[in-house]
């Protein structure tokens, strides 16, 4: 969760995952972002409709590991997560950014990293952000991803006949 105070209002950006059933009855994970006005602690409310990916139930893939961030330096906010739109053996780390606190305007799609298998190798411990972004307004998400391993280390995970280990990645994203 990230928070941002601007123009006398305080917002919480809550990234979370939920289960959804698609049009054909199959269940998948969905990434969500709720923007909550928390200016009045006694009466918080959704500032805008919750963002969802995938956005419709006609899709047949999962998206998960939602995180959010808000820049200290600008009104830019970001929402990042894993997407299996191309299949679990071709996972992407993607996101959406907005320059208007997420309240108005277009959310720009950001393809941060692509082409790696989803493996359970350490969980989502390293999915995160550099809190409040970078000077100048850029955001900096971090994530873990599977990387090919040539070793025979017993700590490696096998997927489709190849060995993988895990590396931590980060990227500067300009909204």
pLDDT digits (tens, 9 = 90+) for 60-111: 889 999 999 999 999 999 999 999 988 888 889 999 999 999 999 999 999 9
Q: Which range is least confidently modeled, 60-64, 153-157, 160-164?
A: 153-157
The segment with the largest mean pLDDT, out of 1-15, 46-60, 84-98, is 1-15
User: Which residues, including other chains, have CB under 8 Å from residue 84's CB and lie 6 or more apart?
Assistant: 61, 62, 63, 90, 91, 92, 118
**Taking 90 as the threshold, does the pLDDT of residue 36 lie above it?**
yes
Domain count, the chain: 1
CA distance 87 to 28: 12
Asked if residue 41 lies in contact with residue 68, where contact means CB atoms within 8 angstroms, the answer is no
Please determine, for residue 173, whether its predicted confidence score (pLDDT) is greater than 70.
yes
Q: Which two tokens stand for residue 143?
A: 């994530």
**Closest C-alpha to 61, from 78, 46, 35, 81:** 81
Domain of 64 in residue numbering reads as 2-170
Query: Is residue 74 situated within a structural domain?
Result: yes
Domain assignment present for residue 105? The answer is yes
Domain contains 175: no
């Amino acid at each position: 969760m990230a928070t941002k105070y601007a123009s006398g209002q305080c917002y919480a950006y809550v990234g979370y995952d939920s289960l959804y059933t698609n049009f054909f009855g199959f269940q998948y994970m969905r990434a969500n972002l709720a923007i909550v006005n928390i200016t009045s602690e006694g009466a918080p409310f959704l500032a805008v409709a919750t963002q969802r990916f995938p956005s419709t139930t006609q899709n047949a893939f999962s998206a998960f590991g939602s995180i959010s961030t808000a820049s200290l330096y600008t009104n830019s906010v970001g929402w990042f997560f894993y997407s299996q739109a191309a299949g679990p053996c071709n996972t992407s780390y993607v996101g959406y950014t907005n320059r208007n606190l997420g309240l108005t305007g277009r959310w720009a799609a950001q393809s941060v990293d692509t082409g790696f298998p989803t493996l359970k190798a350490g969980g989502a411990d390293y999915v995160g952000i550099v809190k409040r972004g970078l000077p100048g307004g850029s955001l900096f998400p971090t994530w873990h991803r599977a990387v090919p391993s040539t070793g025979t280390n017993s700590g490696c995970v096998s997927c489709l006949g190849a060995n993988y280990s895990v590396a931590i990645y980060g990227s500067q994203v300009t909204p």
